Amino acid sequence: MAKSNYMAFLHDASQVIPQERIYTDELRRLAWGTDAGFYRLIPQIVIRSSSEGEISDLLRLANRYGLPVTFRAAGTSLSGQAISDSILIVAGKNWEKYSISPDHEQITLQPGIIGQRVNEILAPYGRKFAPDPASVKSAMVGGIVMNNASGMNCGTHANSDKVLLSARIVLADGTVLDTGDDISRASFEATHTDFLNRICELRDEIRANEELSARIRYKYSIKNVTGLNLLPFIRFDDPFDIIAHLMVGSEGTLAFLSQITMRTEYDYPYKASAMLYFKSIKDACRAVVAMKKLHSNEELKMKNEGLPCDGTAQPDSSFIVKGAELLDYKSLSSVDDPVYLKYKQEVSDASGLTAVLTETKARTREELEQNISAIEACLEAFSTYIPVHFTDRPEEYSKYWAIRSGIFPSVGGTRQPGTTCLIEDVAFHIEDLPEATADLQQLIARHGYDDACIYGHALEGNYHFILNQSFSTDAEVKRYEELMNDVKSLVVDKYDGSLKAEHGTGRNMAPFVKYEWGEAAFEAMKTVKQLFDPKCLLNPGVIFNDDPQCHIKNFKPLPLIPVDEASPAEKVNKCIECGFCEVNCLSCGFTLSSRQRIVLQREISRLKQSGENQERLVLLEKQYRYPGNQTCAGDGLCSMSCPMNINTGDLTHIIRQELLPKGSLGYKAGDFVANHFAGVKSTLRPVLSLANFGHSVLGTKAMSSITKGMHNLLGIPLWTPAMPKSYRIGNEELGYTVVPQGNSSFFTPNSSFNKVVYFPSCINQTMGLPKRSPVVQPLVNKMISLLRKGGYEVIFPKDMDKLCCGTIWESKGMLDIADRKAAELEASLWEASEQGKYPVLCDQSPCLHRMRETIKKMKLYEPAEFIYTFLRDRLVFTQTDRPVALHITCSMRKMGLAATIISLAKLCSTHVIIPEEVGCCGFAGDRGFTYPELNSYALRKLRPQIEASGVAIGYSNSRTCEIGLTTNSGIPYVSIAYLVDQCTEKAENKE
């Protein structure tokens, strides 16, 4: 397209979209030009949209200038659906509104809500989101619907097409249509009469063609997302219903989906699973075919009468077996499945062993037991390697599903560096399953993919196969091309199945749509495309592509980032850019996400290693500083949703280390602080006192205004009313006598007390309470009194004012200094605890997390964990009815202690509120002072929930986090220790 067209579009777009949401710089175009697939196109313009009106205006402009447009939600699609070399419009974080019908059986959603979030919204009502793709925890509703992504349990009976009720869309000419609104329908009928007439004509033409109608029914009797969705022409008479359902699986090629209303699904309360092992893949498939035919007597009767089985779902939900996931021997091997390893020891060839993870669900326990008995009776006709065993205990069957979930990352993690992990998915009719599965397995092996595996939704005849593929040579590209040609022949010619079952057509299968469907069906699809998008501007190249080799072009490079193998960041090269991390990345949608940071660092590394285009390299490094480095909190929550446990914060620390080499002024300053830590802390206290004095003299409003101006002008840390006063631990202040004992000191003991080594973090040794605080005692004092209330003698490590866990230096990239400080702390704690005899308590969870990462020979605890473990039985808890807010820090989540602090808070209050969609607070040590906008963005959803709940105080276990929480919530946040102390008394006082 002519550059002048883009310039004109940009000029006009800036009149309707704020400039800060229009990206044309090198960095962000590359970052947003990457999705989870193995293709890459770099957009000319990226626009972060926020409203339907903006979309309408943008499409009118694109139509005026003849510029192609692609829509993107989460970017978790696998076949190149969400990439563009023209205009990319993102509909994510700004599209999260929803509403639920009074009976909870319908939900209306904007496209940017994550699927798992929908399940969380519906859970209190015993309902769930019917589509259940494996990416449901990261994929957004828009992508799920527009790809018709399904999963393990929804099959064809409860996919997006079957549960959709109406859609609100923006057409290519900017027209908005709500198919569920009478006024909108009437308006559209008046302005788009010819459009509706053509829909009706096409409906009648398809129905009149009996062969085509029969083919459509047959093709959609199994999972099928190849091409556009033709089923609506068979299912619906109303043209508006047809239009709405044409959106499902259209991958943004027909219109923009701004809102959708769907039926919710009943969430069965009773569940059981079994891992079944068969000695051959054909036997496993035969067993699946047999289980597929099982129906409960009551539901079979309802099915025969054409009635919904659970009030909302289609009659197909009458199947007793709700899920059957096949795992071939390579899948089992990749996760070190213990049964597979045992079998491998017993036989010379273990390649036949196949597992089927089976699940059944019911409304009552009695019904569940009946289901299990029916399945066991069915399986008596088959020989299993180990006896069939169903369990309804979550702690047991969750291990089975963890094996299933671990296949993709395990196989992807074993790929050769620089290669791509590809997932393809096909579907066969259930009667063909045994032979087709064996054929597919042999076909993949014949092409030399020795590390490939087959697994997936056998109950629906739907399999995924994973390939670790290099595209670095023509030979490797040719091998992939030949494989896909043979897959096409097997699936289409031999079994008349689906080349794409649930991942969308994308670029990878666009050349084969006509081959799979035939001339008549493909012409009907082209007619639909021409009607909706006459200029072919919406997501060109996806579904419809005239280039027969488009699937072997524009491969995404995956160059290595040079990282020491001993570094925690070494996992970064295993990243497959799936985007699963982004749900936990606090800067996603603000600057860059964790995935985008890896994408950009890969390109920077490639340019460094190749020596090409050094001007672009310098530009990318410069543009990366603020969005990539300075606004990365480094909290590591991204690793918790990453299939390969990659912590992008570790990569950020390495980047910061490179920016502060030994000998640099910044490094020397950090080293000086480490060597004179006690003195540096002493200089901080007068600064805090001065700030408090200014607050007292000027007042909150004037102080805030002045310091904000200084922050913006000079870049000094931002002061807020939550800023604490200075504090120093002192004997008189504590009210106890410090008595020396060896090289440590402790408080005058009672001989019946237990002992604990208490290391107050350097923050809590320096920072007291803010000017307006709901509590009186500084935290160190409170911890001591609470510990003594629980019968514990407190021991302090020697010279603790010089000690630090090293987090300060780690966050700045001075990793060697950080480790040195951690070693100093370990030595002191080891001595104070008498070589690990006593537990060690640190009052700051982020500090405790780093201590656990670096100190392994002592038992280390943060406040909530210590109180819950050691003090709970020594204290009498009296619950308050006062609602309290609880913030679970990143470090608590990473240490697996979220449930502990929640349980502790519930011992204290009958009404514990954990704000939804609030993860890392973004304060990140000192970043809440230096980059407060990151803190504000991370907590943007906090204040409305606090205000709606009537909470007056919140609790956490990190002083710096509490400063940011207080600033952005409108209520004070303090340590959980204060709540416990308020709600407890000594056990011996109980009468």
Q: pLDDT value at position 704?
A: 82
Q: Which pLDDT value is given to residue 296?
A: 59
In the listed set 229, 245, 265, which residue is the last one of a domain according to the structure? Answer: 265
- 737 shares its domain with 870: yes
Number of CB atoms found within 10 A of residue 180's CB? 18
Under DSSP, the state recorded for 799 is: T
Cβ-based neighbours of 966, under 8 Å, separated by 6 or more:
720, 721, 722, 770, 954, 972, 973
Say whether pLDDT at 687 is over 90. no
pLDDT band, residue 716 (cuts 50/70/90):
confident
Half-sphere exposure for 117 (CA within 13 Å, toward CB): 21
* 254 and 282 part of one domain: no
The structure tokens listed for 666 are 């910044």
Please state, in angstroms and rounded to a whole number, the distance separating the CA atoms of residues 571 and 786: 42
- Beta bridge partners, 408, equal none
- The average pLDDT across 79-103 equals 96
pLDDT-based confidence at residue 305 (cuts at 50, 70, 90): very low
Mean pLDDT value of segment 833-847: 96
Q: Is residue 623 part of a domain?
A: yes
Q: 361: which 2 tokens?
A: 């669900």
Domain assignment present for residue 80? The answer is no
Domain of 326?
A: 267-469
For the cut 80, the answer to whether the pLDDT of residue 315 exceeds it is no
Of 34, 50, 29, the closest CA to residue 594 belongs to 34
695 in the same domain as 649: no
Q: Strand 767-770 and strand 724-726: pairing? A: antiparallel
Kindly report which listed range (42-46, 170-174, 738-742) carries the lowest average pLDDT score: 738-742
Domain match, 280 and 210 both: no
CA torsion 192-195-199-201 (nearest 10°) is 110
Our count of domains for the chain comes to 4
Encoding tokens for residue 400?
Answer: 């089975």
**Averaged pLDDT for residues 725-736:** 67
Mind spelling out the 3-state secondary structure of 133-162? CCCCCCCEHHHHHHCCCCCCCCCCCCCHHH
Does residue 673 lie in a domain region?
A: no
What pLDDT, on a 0 to 100 scale, did the predictor assign at position 743? 44
Cα–Cα distance, 954 to 939 (Å, whole number): 14
In which band, very low, low, confident or very high, does the pLDDT at 101 lie, cut at 50, 70 and 90? very high
The average pLDDT across 675-695 equals: 86
Q: Of the candidates 469, 487, 519, which is a domain's last residue?
A: 469
**Residues with Cβ < 8 Å from 207, sequence gap 6 or more?**
213, 233, 234
Task: Give exposure, 625-652, as e/b (b: 16+ Cβ within 10 Å).
Answer: eebbbebbbbbbbbbbbbbbebbbbbbb
Do 297 and 367 lie in one domain? The reply is yes
One domain, residues 725 and 853: yes
Q: For the beta carbon of residue 673, count every other beta carbon within 10 angstroms.
A: 18
Q: What are phi and psi of 428, to 5 degrees?
A: -120, 155
Provide the pLDDT for residue 718: 87
Give me the numbers of helices (H) and strands (E) for the chain, helices first please.
42, 31
**DSSP-assigned beta bridge partners for residue 880:** 909
Q: What pLDDT score does 989 carry?
A: 52
Give the span between the Cα atoms of 839 and 829, in whole angstroms: 10
What integer pLDDT is reported at residue 711 of this predicted model? 84
| The predicted structure's pLDDT at residue 738 | 39
Which has more pLDDT, 955 or 723? 955
pLDDT over 80 (residue 741): no
Helix (H, G, I), strand (E, B) or coil at 741: strand
Asked if residue 510 belongs to a domain, the reply is no
Residue 794: which H helix or E strand, with range?
strand 792-796
Position with higher pLDDT, 413 vs 901: 901
Looking at every residue in the chain, the average pLDDT score rounds to 92
Residues 755 and 866 in one domain: yes
* Pairing state between β 744-747 and 792-796: antiparallel
Same domain, 195 and 106: yes
Yes or no: say if 59 and 75 are a contact pair by the CB < 8 Å rule.
no
pLDDT tens-place string over residues 117-157 = 999 999 999 999 999 988 899 999 999 999 999 888 888 88
The number of angstroms, rounded, from the C-alpha of 649 to the middle of its chain's C-alpha atoms is 16
Residue 252: band (very low, low, confident or very high) from pLDDT cuts 50, 70, 90: very high
User: In this structure, is residue 38 part of a structural domain?
Assistant: no
**CATH number of the domain to which 447 belongs:** 3.40.462.40
Question: Which pLDDT does position 317 carry in this prediction?
Answer: 53
State residue 803's pLDDT score.
Answer: 95
Q: How far apart are CA 341 and CA 838, in angstroms?
A: 41
Q: Is the pLDDT of residue 1 over 70?
A: no
SS3 state at 37: coil
Domain final position from 230, 248, 265: 265
Specify if 122 maps to a domain.
Answer: yes
Instruction: Please write the tens of the pLDDT for every residue from 448-487.
Output: 998 899 999 999 999 999 998 999 899 999 999 999 999 9
Q: What is the pLDDT of residue 938?
A: 97
Query: Is residue 606 domain-shared with residue 682, that is, in the same domain?
Result: no
Residues 627 and 203: their CA atoms lie apart, in Å, by 50
Residue 211 main-chain phi, psi, to 5 deg: -65, -45
Residues 569 and 431 both lie in one domain: no
On whether both 924 and 894 belong to a single domain, the answer is: yes
CATH number of the domain at 149, please.
3.30.465.10
Predicted confidence (pLDDT) at residue 204 exceeds the cutoff of 60: yes
Residue 324 resides in a domain: yes
How far is Cα 938 from Cα 947, in angstroms, rounded to an integer?
17
**Across 490-502, average pLDDT:** 96
* pLDDT at 44 (0 to 100): 97
* 690 within a domain of the structure (yes/no): yes
Asked if residue 689 and residue 630 are part of one domain, the reply reads no
Q: Is the pLDDT of residue 556 over 80?
A: yes
